[in-house]
A and B are shown apart, each in its own frame.
Chain A
Amino acid sequence: GAVVSQHPSRVICKSGTSVKIECRSLDFQATTMFWYRQFPKQSLMLMATSNEGSKATYEQGVEKDKFLINHASLTLSTLTVTSAHPEDSSFYICSINGWAGSYNEQFFGPGTRLTVL
C-alpha cells in the first residue's frame, strides 16, 4: 500500500500567522490528493481535492483564499492556512488513492495537529 507522510506533525502558532502543512506520497505518484479536517471528537470532513498541475476543488463552506492548496508535483501537496485564527485549530489529514494489489484504496497520512493561540 501507499505510504503518506505529513509535516509537521504538530504546530502551534499565533493568531494571524500563516502555517504550511506538507503532504507527501512516498512511494506512489498521486495526481490527486485529498485534504480533510477533523475537529475534536468529530469525524473527518473533506475540505478540498488537490489536483496536480491545476487548481484545487474546495468543498462548500471552505474558503479557498484562506486555505491555499498547491500540488506542484506528483508526490507533494501543501496546505497553507493563512491568517490563522483559534477556530482553525484542528487535526488536518491528507490522503491519496493508491493501489493495494488489484484494488484501489485510500491511504491517509498521520495528520497534523494545528493549534492557534
Chain B
Amino acid sequence: GQQLNQSPQSMFIQEGEDVSMNCTSSSIFNTWLWYKQDPGEGPVLLIALYKAGELTSNGRLTAQFGITRKDSFLNISASIPSDVGIYFCAGQLMAGNTPLVFGKGTRLSVIA
C-alpha cells in the first residue's frame, strides 16, 4: 500500500531554533496535510496543501507541496516550548470522502 516516509523520526532543539521535517512518497497525492498531535489527543490540522508547488504559511509554520506531488516539507521558525509534540504528514490520494495515509511522525522536543 501507499506509504509516506517521514523524517527525522525525532528532534531535540533549543528554543528559538528553526525546525524542518519532510515526507516523501512513491505515490502521487491529491492533497497533503500536516498535523500536530499532543499526548492523548487527536491530531490537529496545521496546514493543508492542495496544489503542486504550493507554499503555504500559518504563523511560524511554512509548508510546501512538491511539484511532483510526492513530497512535502514543514518548517517551524523560532520554536517555542509549546511546539513540543508529534508532527505527522498525511496524504489523501483523491479529493473528497477518502481516508488519509499517515507518515510515522516526527517527535519534536524543545529545550528551553
A100–B48 alpha-carbon span in the complex (Å): 10
Interface residues on B, range: 20 to 34
A109–B95 alpha-carbon span in the complex (Å): 20
**In the complex, chain A residues whose CB is within 8 Å of the CB of B82:** none
In the assembled complex, B100 has its CB within 8 A of some CB on chain A: yes
A34–B98 alpha-carbon span in the complex (Å): 9
B45 touches A97 (CB 8 A): no
Interface residues on A, range: 20 to 34
- Give the contacts of B36-63 with A (CB-CB under 8 A): 40-45, 48, 50
- Say which one of A14-22, A38-46, A75-83 lies at the interface with B: A38-46
In the assembled complex, B81 has its CB within 8 A of some CB on chain A: no
Q: A31-B97, A32-B97 are in contact. Are A108 and B103 (CB under 8 A)?
A: no
B33 touches A104 (CB 8 A): no
A84–B40 alpha-carbon span in the complex (Å): 21
In the assembled complex, B104 has its CB within 8 A of some CB on chain A: yes
Question: Which B residue's beta carbon lies closest to that of A49?
Answer: B99
Interface residues of A (CB under 8 A from B): 1, 4, 6, 31-32, 34, 42-46, 49, 91, 93, 95, 97, 100, 103-111, 113
Given A43-B88, A105-B45, A106-B99, 20 extra CB contacts under 8 A: A31-B97, A34-B99, A34-B100, A42-B104, A43-B102, A43-B104, A44-B100, A46-B99, A46-B100, A93-B42, A93-B43, A95-B42, A95-B100, A104-B31, A105-B48, A106-B33, A106-B92, A106-B100, A111-B40, A111-B41
